[in-house]
Amino acid sequence: MGRGLTFMHHRFWIAFIFVLMTVAGLSACEGGTSASSGEVIVPIVMCTPESPLVNIYRVAPQSWANSIFEFAFPPIPTPIPPALPPPVNEQQLLLARYAALQQLKKEAQRWSDTKVIKMEDSKEIRIVLTFISPELLQAVYLNETLKDRFLTYGFLDQLQGVLNSVAERNELLFLVTVTATNNNAYSNHHTIRIPIQEMVMHNAEKITIIHSHNDHNLEQVIDTSAGPVFGYLGYPLSLVSAEQCRWILDPKFNTNIVITVPFLEVDSANNNTAYFWTIPYAPLFDLNLPPDLPDFNMPAGFDTNLMTPLPLPPSDINQANYWQDFGRYIWGQVTLGNR
């Protein structure tokens, strides 16, 4: 009898602990509220909202992309049966490639924000956060298409296919780039570590969102003498919060993309400084202005070797072609060019 009661007693406590742990786990999955900020930290429970606009990569191609492509390859009636591709006007193709490069430069600067950590020896560490927006992706694909001239018609369909393939990730993609300036053999080297798991997004509803994917190399201790470090972060498009499927960056309320990190470790010490990357996202209202016309005015003597992807980012932000070269570096990362 005593053994039976003891057995039942143990079973009761085992069951109770199991239920307690289950409730605690569910509570943790529902997220919590930060007492200091009042923001709700939402775990990664993805969902699919009713609005198709949530996935911002499922958009029609930009008009400038088609305008630049058709400047290089003017449309012709599709022959039946298909004939050989038409001859290419090399000068027009060159001007189109220049216009595409200027668009890439514009989009790279438009969708990036930079934070600078100044060291005592005048060295600077720069952390650039770039939103891989649909416009930036289109600029990359346009440059790649014109460089390799692997496509003379059907461009819009191919571009739409590229956007759709990225849309299937159901994520907002960002590129993190860490570089050091004033870096030479005689200067002191420094280390920096980004607490990448705490690099979170904040939206206008006071919801704090952790990323769903990140490149593991971003978690390493970065030695500034070893060259630049870069990798991707992916944040969910929508999450379950308060039993509702919420669009993280609804442009009706979110005019900026804000991503923060509470501190950095510089030379193995916590610098106790929070950093905010803010990228303009959507206007308060749409003026319906016509898009800027592509820039086909290539300067005399322009180095055509610059119309190629770069494997590494530029380090000197004061150089005249910094954002052009940064765009070329993004081009190289997105397409794995020069690999």
pLDDT above 60 for 137: yes
Task: Give the pLDDT confidence score for residue 182 in this predicted structure.
Answer: 66
What are the Cα distances from residue 207, in Å, to 246, 254, 259?
A: 10, 12, 12
Can you say how many angstroms the Cα of residue 278 is from the centroid of all Cα atoms in its chain? Answer: 13
Can you say how many angstroms the Cα of residue 205 is from the centroid of all Cα atoms in its chain? Answer: 21
pLDDT above 70 for 33: no
Task: Give the pLDDT confidence score for residue 290 in this predicted structure.
Answer: 80
298 residue type, one letter: M
User: pLDDT confidence of 129, banded at 50, 70, 90?
Assistant: very high
Q: Using CA atoms, how far apart are residues 45 and 142, in angstroms rounded to an integer?
A: 35
pLDDT above 50 for 19: no
Task: Give the pLDDT confidence score for residue 159 in this predicted structure.
Answer: 96
Task: Give the pLDDT confidence score for residue 233 in this predicted structure.
Answer: 97
Backbone angles phi, psi at 221, to 5 degrees: -80, 125
Radius of gyration of the chain (CA): 25
Percent of the chain scored above 90 by pLDDT?
A: 61
Q: Using CA atoms, how far apart are residues 31 and 186, in angstroms rounded to an integer?
A: 49
pLDDT above 80 for 46: no
Task: Give the pLDDT confidence score for residue 84 in this predicted structure.
Answer: 65
Percent of the chain scored above 70 by pLDDT?
A: 81
Task: Give the pLDDT confidence score for residue 132 in this predicted structure.
Answer: 98
Task: Give the pLDDT confidence score for residue 53 in this predicted structure.
Answer: 83
49 residue type, one letter: P
Q: Where are the beta strands (DSSP E) in the chain?
A: 32-33, 40-42, 112-118, 124-131, 171-181, 191-193, 200-202, 207-209, 213-214, 222-223, 229-236, 238-241, 244-247, 256-261, 265-266, 269-270, 275-280
Q: How much is the pTM?
A: 0.84
Q: Of 86, 84, 100, whose CA–CA distance to 147 is shortest? A: 100
pLDDT above 90 for 50: no
Task: Give the pLDDT confidence score for residue 121 in this predicted structure.
Answer: 78
For the chain, the first-to-last Cα distance in angstroms comes to 75
Q: Using CA atoms, how far apart are residues 25 and 203, in angstroms rounded to an integer?
A: 25
Q: Tell me what the mean pLDDT of segment 227-250 comes to.
A: 89
Q: Using CA atoms, how far apart are residues 77 and 203, in angstroms rounded to an integer?
A: 48
pLDDT tens track for 62-87: 999 999 999 999 987 765 556 666 78
User: pLDDT confidence of 119, banded at 50, 70, 90?
Assistant: confident
Q: Tell me what the mean pLDDT of segment 158-176 comes to.
A: 95
Task: Give the pLDDT confidence score for residue 291 in this predicted structure.
Answer: 78
Q: Tell me what the mean pLDDT of segment 231-249 comes to.
A: 89
Q: Among the listed ranges 117-121, 192-196, 231-235, which one has the minimum average pLDDT value?
A: 117-121
pLDDT tens track for 176-214: 999 988 655 456 788 999 999 999 999 999 899 999 999
Question: 154: left (phi > 0), else alpha (psi -120 to 50), else beta?
Answer: left
CB 130 within 8 A of CB 115: no
Cα angle 334, 133, 232; round to 5:
50
Q: Tell me what the mean pLDDT of segment 108-127 comes to.
A: 91
Please give the residue that has the higher pLDDT: either 43 or 29.
43
85-89, 220-224, 241-245, 288-292 — most confident range: 220-224
The contacts of residue 155 (CB under 8 Å, 6+ apart) are 65, 66, 69, 70, 73, 145
